Amino acid sequence: MAAKSVIRKGTKVLEGGGSSQFIGIEPDAAIVVAPLVGMDEMISIDLHSFWEINPAVHLVCLGDNCPCCTLGNESGFKAYLPVLTREGESKIFAFGIGVARQFSELEEEVGSLAGKLVKIRRAGSGLRTRYTVTGLGKSIDISTATPADIESQLGPFDLPAIIRKLEENGLAEAEQFEDLLPSKKEKPEPKAKKTAEPAPKGKKPVKPAPEETEKKADDWEDGEESEDWDA
């Protein structure tokens, strides 16, 4: 399935692993960053996480044709913002629905968050993790900063590649997803056309009589399909 069906930018759908481009927060710590875009350009996906293995595997949900959904793994909302750090590095901050709501509420109060300093504090770890987003009331110049390419850090997005990931990590067997893969129906071989037999000298060649199964041009005007192609 094309990446366009699984990545969203703001409220729009776009085309499409861990990386050093991501910035994290240690438990009971905080970071100060400046988003390089507003929330209307926030990238979001539905993400499957397999925590039963170490390290955990995270795969994009493909929607109706998703092998992770077939396995009964529930997807969750995941969003990404390009940010500028104190050190002047362009990074990607990943977060869940709770932080996304806090960002949106803050933007409603102060306007676009692009270039505005925000503090993100993390409390706890694991399932007890909580985040707090606070605006610092300051802005910085981000005109020379280049946002990290978020879309290139997400994926894979195609069905065969996701199935391979599941198989490589011992989460499933490829045979479990045969119904999801497109069927490869073989088309019938075209019939060879008869050619006129060479005629003796002084005589015109004789054209072969048309086969009974051939259709005249006007037989197709009503949209009737050839029986040879019926599924």
pLDDT at 190: 56
Q: Which amino acid is at 215?
A: K
Stretches where the chain sits below pLDDT 70 are 1-19, 183-231
Residue 12: the pLDDT is: 40
The pTM for the full model equals 0.69
So what's the pLDDT on residue 181?
A: 83
- Cβ distance 93 to 22 under 8 Å? yes
Q: What is the DSSP string of 15-58?
A: -----TTEE---TTEEEEEEESS-GGG-EEEEEEEETTSSS-EE
What pLDDT is stored for residue 208 in this prediction?
56
* 195, HSE (Cβ side, Cα atoms, 13 Å): 4
* 3-class secondary structure, 149: coil
Residue-level pLDDT at 73: 97
The predicted structure's pLDDT at residue 13: 38
Distance CA 90, CA 147 (A): 6
Quote the pLDDT of residue 216. 44
For residue 81, the model assigns a pLDDT of: 97
